[in-house]
């Protein structure tokens, strides 16, 4: 019997060229390898405070309807989002998280050789999708732990970029620009270039961090999510807001039936419960203060954060931070760290419950001592 | 203030060229336009019998965990699927339904100008993704309401196709080939061509419909879903089984965190409850027999089906069937019909509860009379 040889994978030349590494390893894989479940899950900036009880109830109720496909137009959710943001429903597209939306957006705008600009060490899933479509990623450095609008714009001009990616507030450092600064960035964007403004953490940021939403401005697309402040990471719901000409383009490539019916029902109720979101904001602020204090107690500097995580500067290089990180993981605390210099001097810890934070307070001095070679864990 | 003109959408030339039409309009959109909810939802081959109560319970339980991202490796589910199918976990990839898997598969294998082969009137979402990647779809006709392996293979040879799509059992006609026939097809596939075997309805088909699963054979990839027999369309879980070299390729382009945590938990329990699946199989068989009888009662021919729907030949052309379909919709019964000749002489009705089937029995004679101009609805 004829069989195609084992090395015949049918892949395109582009697909063959793609790295086999993935943007993130899940904590479950680490748990499987150690055989020990984490005591605190503080590495993926999930919201330990969970979704609104109303969203929880809506999802439980919706389970009985899971035999039906979800509405491919995500109509009810888009209408509610449009009302919430005072835009037209045609200016909103709902997708399976920001990751799913980035996938579609990059498919729509990037092809072989298309230059795009991002920051070194910013969200790797953006780069993943760009590379997956054959685009060329140019990365500028952070300036003092901030993504730098001026450097991004200058690089975009230099390389003729089609897209500029920026997150505000920033991941993985937690820093943020004012909405006014972002608006200035939008005003200076080169012609034929689109600003991809990832606002995953915006609900947790101080007032004034969001720039004024003008959906007549085709130079920017905003990405939002129910994964962070709304506490529904596992449900996979995000949305993009932008000019209707671009937003309608998503219908040409997106997976129309891709958002779970249960998740749509949950997101609708989560959005309606803004009181819960405010409460989460307060809890996150308390946890941020606690993390700042923990850093200080250990004579370390914490980076001020507008997100549900804090990057703590371990005061040495990435090699040292990596030891701190591994020690924390060994003690049952799932955390992550930035991947590039000089941000990799920091360990990134998500905001958790008081109990979670107490575990961190107890473990961090040991992890630092272990990384310094003073004690063996 | 400089603004990009309204016609500037930032799309690639390929994206600009894509049709704005979408594969399917959801029943919700029809309900919104008429203002009347459907009494019976029998147009999308969802399983009105729902998922296993164990899966329902698991999803309700998992809602409390929805603040966490789902395992990006879908590990537990892949392990269970591997055990169920007696293959290695590395030979299985889980995705957001067959639609999501087709998206990744086409991304991996199709680029500008890549020829692929399918059947005229077969699953449009395959074509949607192929067109979305710049591929060229060549379609052969059905033979007597069957997708025709010989025609597909001959066309693939003629055009040098990279992919051949076939569904077994077939949608939208419900016809099926034996596993032996599919195996013959695999044996005759041209070199460097991959058979995309969509087995969405396989759990509802007679024994012997599935071809022998040989994951060392790189010439075929099988697509399965929890949307049909398992009754979880709204949860978005499908999987592909194939040669590990191809399966591992999915990791280069897929949305790693794309499957809902709630859905993963549900699918795991649904798979474990094979008794429920057998029970659904029986209920579907009863409904099929009822639909055959309804056709006969109306002096129409039903196409024998191995799926959870029956195509009823309305005995005239597509124009007439379209009138029947619209009359049924007007009477509150959501159904669909094949889109091309000569299959468009049929209306496609999903298997439902006895109550659903009674509604169809009552409505179909009226719909036929209305389509014939004998009565006004």
CA A181 to chain centre: 21
Q: Are residues B28 and B112 in the same domain?
A: no
**Residue A4 pLDDT:** 46
**Residue A7 pLDDT:** 47
Mean predicted lDDT score pLDDT of chain B: 96
CB A15 to CB B236 under 8 A? no
pLDDT tens by residue, A140-166: 999 999 999 999 999 999 999 999 999
B358 Cβ partners below 8 Å, 6+ apart?
Answer: none
Instruction: Report yes or no on B204 lying in a domain.
Output: yes
A4 Cβ partners below 8 Å, 6+ apart?
Answer: B191, B192, B217, B218, B219
Report the C-alpha gap between B35 and B37 in whole angstroms: 7
Instruction: Report yes or no on B11 lying in a domain.
Output: no
Q: Are residues B131 and B153 in the same domain?
A: yes
pTM of the model: 0.96
Q: Are residues B262 and B292 in the same domain?
A: no
CB-based contact, B148 to chain A, within 8 Å: no
Report the C-alpha gap between B195 and A119 in whole angstroms: 41
Q: Are residues A106 and A208 in the same domain?
A: yes
pLDDT of residue B6 exceeding 70, the answer is: no
List all residues of chain B from 162 to 201 with a beta carbon under 8 Å from chain A: 162-163, 187, 191-192, 194
Q: Are residues A235 and A268 in the same domain?
A: yes
**Residue B349 pLDDT:** 98
pLDDT of residue B8 exceeding 70, the answer is: no
Instruction: Report yes or no on B18 lying in a domain.
Output: no
Distance from CA of B299 to the nearest CA of A (A): 32
CB B4 to CB A192 under 8 A? yes
Chain B contact probe: residue of A262, A263, A265, A308 with most B CBs at under 10 A: A262
pLDDT of residue B229 exceeding 80, the answer is: yes
Q: Which tokens go with B103?
A: 């998206």
For residue A245, give the CATH number of its domain: 3.40.640.10
Kindly tell me the sign of the dihedral angle through the C-alpha atoms of B313, B314, B316, B318. Answer: negative
CB A20 to CB B252 under 8 A? yes
Chain B contact probe: residue of A68, A249, A259 with most B CBs at under 10 A: A68
Q: What is the 3-state secondary structure (H, E, C) of B14-34?
A: HHHHCCCCCCCCCHHHHHHHH
pLDDT tens by residue, B29-76: 999 998 999 999 999 999 999 999 999 999 999 999 999 999 999 999
Q: Are residues A127 and A114 in the same domain?
A: yes
**Residue A195 pLDDT:** 98
Structural domain boundaries, residue A115: 53-273
Q: Which tokens go with A135?
A: 């685009």
**Nearest by CB to A10, which of B22, B194, B263?**
B194
Q: Are residues A244 and A324 in the same domain?
A: no
Instruction: Report yes or no on A148 lying in a domain.
Output: yes
List all residues of chain B from 116 to 145 with a beta carbon under 8 Å from chain A: 132
φ, ψ of residue B99 in degrees (nearest 5): -55, -45
CB-based contact, A278 to chain B, within 8 Å: no
Provide the number of structural domains found in chain B.
Answer: 2
Q: Are residues B157 and B199 in the same domain?
A: yes
**Nearest by CB to A32, which of B68, B75, B163?**
B75
Complex-level ipTM? 0.96
CB-based contact, A50 to chain B, within 8 Å: yes
**Residue B359 pLDDT:** 98
CB A3 to CB B217 under 8 A? yes
CB A261 to CB B234 under 8 A? yes
Burial classification of residue B2, based on how many CB atoms lie within 10 Å of its CB (0-12 exposed, 13-18 middle, 19 or more buried): exposed
Report the C-alpha gap between A129 and B71 in whole angstroms: 20
pLDDT tens by residue, B69-111: 999 999 999 999 999 999 999 999 999 999 999 999 999 999 9
Distance from CA of B219 to the nearest CA of A (A): 6
- Of A241, A273, A305, the position where a domain reaches its end is A273
CB B12 to CB A263 under 8 A? no
**Residue A8 pLDDT:** 62
pLDDT of residue B5 exceeding 50, the answer is: no
**Residue B72 pLDDT:** 97
Q: Are residues B63 and B190 in the same domain?
A: yes
Q: Which tokens go with B53?
A: 């109560």
Tell me the average pLDDT across B158-187.
98
Across-strand partners of A347?
A312
Instruction: Report yes or no on A281 lying in a domain.
Output: yes
Q: Are residues B150 and B211 in the same domain?
A: yes
For residue A325, give the CATH number of its domain: 3.90.1150.10
List all residues of chain B from 340 to 369 with a beta carbon under 8 Å from chain A: none
Q: Which tokens go with B5?
A: 């003109």
**Residue A23 pLDDT:** 74
Q: Are residues A61 and A41 in the same domain?
A: no
CB-based contact, B313 to chain A, within 8 Å: no
- Of A255, A273, A291, the position where a domain reaches its end is A273
**Angle at A362 (CA atoms; ends A358, A364), nearest 5 degrees:** 110
**Nearest by CB to A69, which of B44, B70, B191?**
B44
List all residues of chain A from 2 to 21 with a beta carbon under 8 Å from chain B: 2-15, 18-20
CB-based contact, B73 to chain A, within 8 Å: yes
B129 Cβ partners below 8 Å, 6+ apart?
Answer: B102, B103, B105, B106, B107, B110
Instruction: Report yes or no on A1 lying in a domain.
Output: no
8-state DSSP, A6: T
Which chain B residues contact residue A266 at CB under 8 A?
63, 66
> B14 pLDDT band (50/70/90 cuts)?
very high
Instruction: Report yes or no on B10 lying in a domain.
Output: no
pLDDT < 50 stretches in chain A: 1-7
Instruction: Report yes or no on B376 lying in a domain.
Output: no
CB-based contact, B231 to chain A, within 8 Å: yes
Tell me the average pLDDT across B355-365.
98
> B251 pLDDT band (50/70/90 cuts)?
very high
CB A44 to CB B69 under 8 A? yes
- Of B257, B272, B287, the position where a domain reaches its end is B272
Q: Are residues B151 and B294 in the same domain?
A: no
**Residue A2 pLDDT:** 39
Tell me the average pLDDT across B355-370.
98
Give the ranges where chain A is alpha helix by DSSP (H).
Answer: 13-17, 27-34, 53-62, 75-85, 97-109, 124-132, 149-159, 179-187, 244-249, 261-272, 274-297, 318-330, 354-371
């Amino acid at each position: 019997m004829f069989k195609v040889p084992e090395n015949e994978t049918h892949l395109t030349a582009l697909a063959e060229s793609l790295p086999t590494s993935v943007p993130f390893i899940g904590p479950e894989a680490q748990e499987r390898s150690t055989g020990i479940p984490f005591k605190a899950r503080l590495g993926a900036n999930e919201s330990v405070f969970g979704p609104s009880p109303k969203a929880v109830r809506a999802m439980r109720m919706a389970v009985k309807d899971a035999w039906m496909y979800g509405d491919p137009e995500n109509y009810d959710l888009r209408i509610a989002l449009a009302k919430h943001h005072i835009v037209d429903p045609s200016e909103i597209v709902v997708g399976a998280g920001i990751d799913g939306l980035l996938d579609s957006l990059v498919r729509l705008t990037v092809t072989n050789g298309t230059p795009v600009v991002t920051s070194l060490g910013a969200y790797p899933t953006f780069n993943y999708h760009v590379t997956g479509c054959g685009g060329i990623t140019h990365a500028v450095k952070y300036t003092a732990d901030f993504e730098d609008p001026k450097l991004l714009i200058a690089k975009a001009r230099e390389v003729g970029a089609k897209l500029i990616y920026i997150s505000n507030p920033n991941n993985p450092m937690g820093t943020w620009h004012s909405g006014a600064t972002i608006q200035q960035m939008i005003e200076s964007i080169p012609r034929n270039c689109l600003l991809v403004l990832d606002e995953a953490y915006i609900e947790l940021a101080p007032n004034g961090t969001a720039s004024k939403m003008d959906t007549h401005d085709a130079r920017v697309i905003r990405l939002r999510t129910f994964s962070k402040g709304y506490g529904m990471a596992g449900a996979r719901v995000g949305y993009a807001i932008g000019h209707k000409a671009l937003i309608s383009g998503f219908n040409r490539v997106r997976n129309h039936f891709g958002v779970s019916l249960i998740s749509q029902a949950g997101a609708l109720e989560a959005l309606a419960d803004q009181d819960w979101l405010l409460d989460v904001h307060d809890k996150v602020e308390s946890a941020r203060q606690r993390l700042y204090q923990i850093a200080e107690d250990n004579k370390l500097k914490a980076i001020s954060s507008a997100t549900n995580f804090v990057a703590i500067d371990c005061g040495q290089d990435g090699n040292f931070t990596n030891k701190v990180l591994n020690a924390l993981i060994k003690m049952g605390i799932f955390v992550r760290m930035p991947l590039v210099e000089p941000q990799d001097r920091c360990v990134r810890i998500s905001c958790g419950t008081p109990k979670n934070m107490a575990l961190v307070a107890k473990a961090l001095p040991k992890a630092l001592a272990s990384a310094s070679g003073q004690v063996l864990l």
